Amino acid sequence: MVIRQIEKQDNEKVALLIRAVLSEFDVPKVGTAYADPQLDYMFEAYGVPRAVYFVIEENEIIIGGAGIMQLANESDTICELQKMYFLPEARGRGLGNQMMELCLTAAAGFGFEKCYLETMPYMKAAQKLYVLSGFEYLDSPMGCTGHTSCPVWMIKSLEP
């Protein structure tokens, strides 16, 4: 198993993985990551300053991923944990913890002071990981993610 930064040739595989997981959880296709315009071009979307997307590859198959990027229409000190999804074979193996640590370390290294995320209310395992990682619930959304169908908002202060 290897955790590495996304490469251009990963674009299609990552898009398929994210859409498969969202479909598995019956997430709405509108107002979620499913419809994000950059979903089919993740390598290019994260090829900007202060952004990174990591994939987990096992036996030449991408089984998970997550990224960090500036939260749109917010202070430049706030990033967003984005598109953190895992195929069923990746779950329950501690990979979420590893990916979370890697993303939050990268965010702090980019100079972000806080990390924001959005999720669905029935994604309980994900929320458990977020809470264990120090995220706290918010009463309203931040920034402009375009994810109008995601009603759970969380934030975490990052260690310098």
Nearest residue to 117 via CA among 94, 150, 77, 158 = 150
Residue 126 and residue 96: Cα distance in Å, rounded?
Answer: 8
Q: Indicate the SS3 state at residue 8.
A: helix
Residue ranges making up the domain that contains 73: 2-157
Q: Residue 75 phi/psi, 5° resolution?
A: -55, 150
Q: Residue 109 phi/psi, 5° resolution?
A: -65, -30
Residues in Cβ contact with 59 at an 8 Å cutoff, skipping those fewer than 6 apart: none
92 in the Ramachandran plot: left (φ > 0), alpha (ψ -120 to 50) or beta? Answer: left
CB 52 within 8 A of CB 46: yes
Whichever domain contains 68, its CATH number is: 3.40.630.30
Q: How many domains does the chain have?
A: 1
Q: Please give the chain's pLDDT, 160 residues, in tens.
A: 999 999 999 999 999 999 999 999 888 787 777 778 899 999 999 999 999 999 999 999 999 999 999 999 999 999 999 999 999 999 999 999 999 999 999 999 999 999 999 998 988 999 999 999 999 999 999 988 877 778 999 999 997 6
CA angle 136, 153, 43 (to 5 degrees): 110
